[in-house]
């Protein structure tokens, strides 16, 4: 809590900053129990501040916390669920697929401009993300860890992405809201993503699971962990290993089954 929220004035903290903090903890691989414990502390501080009239009302509103399950492992959508969610999100179908197949963070994806899509090199240049200042106002800054990265464009998204970029100037955003301004991650989450999950009866899921889905799909294709880490933009490969180690364990059963078939065929 301290590095992210500790220096902020209580009167300047908004719900979006709290959600970004929770997402940041998940991205670092912090356990569900620890996140929930920290969240409880923050809620208590806000409640105390309201009681003593330091702030008019609590800003802990509609914050998505990781689900409490027997396992604190990162969960991912299936490919079928990913496609269903993308369809339910209507005009933001491409956004959902970028999050689920490229592993972009929601702030990174919604800050993309036409200039960040390099069709010649076949990559998305992740150079920006949405941040918030002390008053809660959004602004564009460098991505997490301050390290830009290039994410290869999946062939299945190439034509749709090319079509989206076709009539845009270099400075225009790929994803915009109803008024034509850059799409707010909060608006997308509340207006499109959560209703899509509800309609599809998908429970205990958050938008961060799209990022986990990318990792899961890559690992299923035997992608080296170093490559998975680079695509996701983790500062340390150990974060990738800690967060997604169980995906490798699950695949090990399939690998051993293939080994058994091979041994049996040679023996025979």
**Tens digit of pLDDT per residue, the chain (268 long)?**
556 676 777 777 887 778 878 877 776 667 777 888 888 888 888 888 888 888 888 888 778 787 654 445 788 999 999 999 999 999 999 999 999 999 999 999 999 999 999 999 999 999 999 987 767 778 899 988 778 999 999 999 999 999 999 989 999 999 999 888 999 998 999 999 999 999 999 988 889 999 999 999 998 888 899 999 999 998 888 888 888 877 777 666 777 777 887 788 876 5
- Rounded distance between C-alpha atoms, residue 46 and residue 177, angstroms: 31
Residue 34, classified by CB atoms within 10 Å of its CB into exposed (0-12), middle (13-18) or buried (19+), is: exposed
Nearest by Cα to 74 from 267, 179, 262, 204 = 204
What is the residue extent of each domain of the chain? 1-72, 79-218
Nearest by Cα to 76 from 237, 251, 255, 256 = 251
The listed CATH number (1.10.443.10, 3.40.228.10, 3.40.50.300, 3.40.250.10) that belongs to domain 79-218: 1.10.443.10
- Rounded distance between C-alpha atoms, residue 111 and residue 118, angstroms: 15
Q: Indicate the pTM of the whole model.
A: 0.71
- Rounded distance between C-alpha atoms, residue 21 and residue 131, angstroms: 11
């Amino acid at each position: 809590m301290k590095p992210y929220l500790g220096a902020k004035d209580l009167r300047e903290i908004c719900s979006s900053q709290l959600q970004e903090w929770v997402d940041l903890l998940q991205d670092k691989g912090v356990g569900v129990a620890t996140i929930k414990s920290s969240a409880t502390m923050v809620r208590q501080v806000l409640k105390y501040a309201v009681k003593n009239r330091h702030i008019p009302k609590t800003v802990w509103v509609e914050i998505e916390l990781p689900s409490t399950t027997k396992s604190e492992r990162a969960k991912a959508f299936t490919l079928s669920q990913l496609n269903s969610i993308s369809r339910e999100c209507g005009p933001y179908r491409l956004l959902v697929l970028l999050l689920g197949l490229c592993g972009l963070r929601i702030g990174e994806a919604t800050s993309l401009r036409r200039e960040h899509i390099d069709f010649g090199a076949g990559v998305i240049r992740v150079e920006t993300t949405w941040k918030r200042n002390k008053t809660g106002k959004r602004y564009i800054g460098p991505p997490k860890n301050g390290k830009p990265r290039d994410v290869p464009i999946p062939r299945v998204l190439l034509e749709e992405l090319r079509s989206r970029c076709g009539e845009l100037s270099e400075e225009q955003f790929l994803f915009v809201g109803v008024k034509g301004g850059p799409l707010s991650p909060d608006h997308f989450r509340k207006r499109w993503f959560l209703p899509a999950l509800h309609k599809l009866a998908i429970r205990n899921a958050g938008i961060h699971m799209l990022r986990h889905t990318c990792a899961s799909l890559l690992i299923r294709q035997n992608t080296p962990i170093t490559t998975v880490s680079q695509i996701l933009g983790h500062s340390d490969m150990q974060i990738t290993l800690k967060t997604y180690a169980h995906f490798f364990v699950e695949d090990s059963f399939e690998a051993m089954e293939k080994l058994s078939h091979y041994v049996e065929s040679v023996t025979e």
